[in-house]
Homo-oligomer: A and B are copies of this chain.
Amino acid sequence: MAVYTQLSNEAIGEWLQAHYALGTLDFAIGIAQGVENTNYLLALCDAQGAEQKYILTLYEKRTRAEDLPFFLGLMQHLAARGVVCPQPIARTDGQVLSDIGGKRAALISFLHGKSRTVMRNQHTAQVGMALGKLHLAAQDFSGTRANALSLAGWQALHETVAPRLDEIQPGLQALIRDELQFLKEHWPQDHSLPRGVIHADLFPDNVFFTGDEVSGVIDFYFACTDFFAYDLAITLNAWCFEGRECNITKMQHMVKQYQQQRLLNDAEKKALPMLLRGAALRFLLTRAHDWLFHEKSALVTPKDPLEYVAKLRFHQANNDASIYGV
């Protein structure tokens, strides 16, 4: 939970008056959810006296300023193609980015709905469908952004964390070293699989439901250019384990509904077990890093890396894509 940058109501109100014609600030609430950036819920009173809600996002150090046009442009592109997601609100001068509190910032539309923590098959099916639609809608987006957390990024992260991995769990150093070597030898080569813009972080926190239906997708600040099927692998890992146990039925539901939108080709199907291993290693490495190097005074409790050890071990033992119903 995190509000890294504290803003007074006066500072928010003056910024709104200077750059927008949306009404007057009724209240501003710092949002505890979220780990990367600072978010405020703003309620404005418009000219008709009606309350309108927005999100003010301040981009903190882990989001690079030069990537912001890609992220915000993607959100606009997706929304124009029917993907329900937050959209940046242009200022009266046409700009979407501002400076406030010493940070780059944007006013974003507010998305109703709420995330789930209890998932049934139908919810993972819904998420598969939403991901397929997102990939189709992103296909003609002109922006590109290299995935800093693919094979080269994993190797760099590994050099940082390797000496201390056994502090988390004895044997973890060897497990990750060997897995990284395996993936270096077997990871799909560029262009061997269909690529495009992927969400790359479609965890349950980032999907809103109304009742049992997906009502929206948020948090595009890891979006990048990579294999579509790798995004599916990240999402399968994020939604279809119960504790440390894989629920194959949930995976099948997600894959099936994804394919109702976008059919996987033979190369993607064949690669899926490998992509699931890579997706598990990617989150294992970043969680291990945050676990070992987070400041003790930080606002955010690091997530458990061992959850992803279990996921990696599951995928190491299964190289048959057919169990996922592809």
Residues of chain A at the chain B interface (Cβ within 8 Å): 1-3, 8-10, 25-33, 41, 43, 112-118, 296-299
Contact = CB atoms under 8 A, between A and B. Distances in A.
A55 to B, nearest CB: 10
Contacts of A2: 1, 32
Nearest to A38: B32
A35 to B, nearest CB: 12
A9 B297 contact: no
A2 to B, nearest CB: 8
Nearest to A24: B211
Nearest to A294: B297
What 10 A-B pairs have minimum CB-CB distances, sorted nearest first? A30-B32, A3-B32, A8-B117, A9-B114, A32-B32, A27-B114, A1-B3, A296-B296, A296-B297, A10-B118
A325 B113 CA distance: 53
Contact of A10 (B26, B31, B41, B117): B117
B27 A113 contact: yes
A10 to B, nearest CB: 5
Nearest to A7: B117
Contact of A299 (B10, B25, B117, B299): B299
Residue with the highest number of chain B CB atoms closer than 10 Å, among A27, A33, A118: A27
A32 B29 CA distance: 7
Contacts of A297: 296-298
Contact of A114 (B26, B30, B32, B299): B26
Contacts of A115: 9
A92 B118 CA distance: 27
A206 to B, nearest CB: 14
Contact of A28 (B28, B114, B116, B296): B114
Contacts of A43: 112
Given A30-B33, A32-B1, A33-B30, A25 B114 contact: yes
Contact of A29 (B10, B29, B117): B29
Given A1-B3, A30-B33, A10 B112 contact: no
A141 B117 CA distance: 43
A291 to B, nearest CB: 14
Contacts of A27: 112-114
Contact of A30 (B1, B113, B118, B298): B1
A90 to B, nearest CB: 25
A115 to B, nearest CB: 6
Nearest to A25: B114
26 contacts: A1-B2, A1-B3, A1-B30, A1-B32, A2-B32, A3-B32, A8-B118, A9-B114, A9-B115, A9-B116, A10-B117, A26-B112, A27-B113, A27-B114, A28-B114, A29-B29, A29-B31, A29-B41, A30-B31, A30-B32, A30-B33, A31-B31, A32-B32, A41-B41, A296-B297, A297-B298
